[in-house]
Homo-oligomer: A and B are copies of this chain.
């Protein structure tokens, strides 16, 4: 017998139903991130469920970063919601910090190279102008502050992900970026962290405007390689691998 022809029926799934209703509400009211949604008590009454059930549902959304609860104030939307969104909780098992850092870079290396290649294929003249603008801002910041242009650097990269035409690149790499910087807020003893990557931003840009996907990919790989080198230097310097 084909087991797929008899999917398990859904008797109860109260909190899921609550979240579904909440998605509907957010869309109906066109709520934007930052706005407040109804109080738990009102939701419980309207949906005819217990307040505890509402709370379990909201706890799940809070864990996913979709919502923020402030005691005494209310519950606020933190991100856009849609009926068909997929949740992907990434868990990076501690281990030593160096390993985790390196793992985020392995993902980023793969995606950064692909995004650069796609960008070189698909960029419109307007896209190129935007990328160049971000590149100029970054180089300016790099020179005036001598290094430490991480904010502008990141904006340049984001522009490329956007031009790749695939929003998944930006979302996933952004997650890697945040994961990375949770360890690396103050470049572990490596004073000129990021210095080495600087020239490759412009060379990557040049391969993009030349509509050279393979070249752009190669430059992106070189760029990530310098970051990996910086990381290895920091690890060797601090021997930070001793944890728990």
Which A residues are within 8 Å of any B CB, using their own CB? 52, 55-56, 59-60, 62-66, 79-80, 82-96, 100, 103-104, 106-107, 109-111, 113-114, 118, 166-169, 171-172, 175-176, 178-179, 182, 243-244
Q: Interface of chain A, helix or strand or loop or mixed? A: helix
Interface contact A92-B171, CB-CB below 8 Å: yes
A118 to chain B, nearest CB (A): 7
Number of copies: 2
Asked if A93 contacts B82 (CB within 8 A), the reply is: yes
A187 to chain B, nearest CB (A): 14
A80, A84, A104, A114: residue with the most chain B Cβ atoms closer than 10 Å: A84
Rounded to whole Å, the gap between the CB of A80 and the closest CB of chain B is: 6
Residues of chain B within 8 A of A94, CB atoms compared: 82-86
- Which residues of chain B are within 8 angstroms of A243 by Cβ–Cβ distance? 84
Report which of B63, B66, B93, B118 forms a contact with A84, defined as CB distance below 8 A: B93
Q: What are 23 sample pairs from A and B whose C-beta atoms fall under 8 A apart?
A: A55-B56, A56-B56, A59-B63, A60-B60, A60-B63, A63-B64, A65-B89, A79-B91, A80-B93, A84-B94, A84-B96, A86-B91, A86-B92, A88-B89, A88-B178, A89-B90, A90-B168, A106-B114, A107-B114, A107-B169, A109-B114, A110-B113, A110-B114
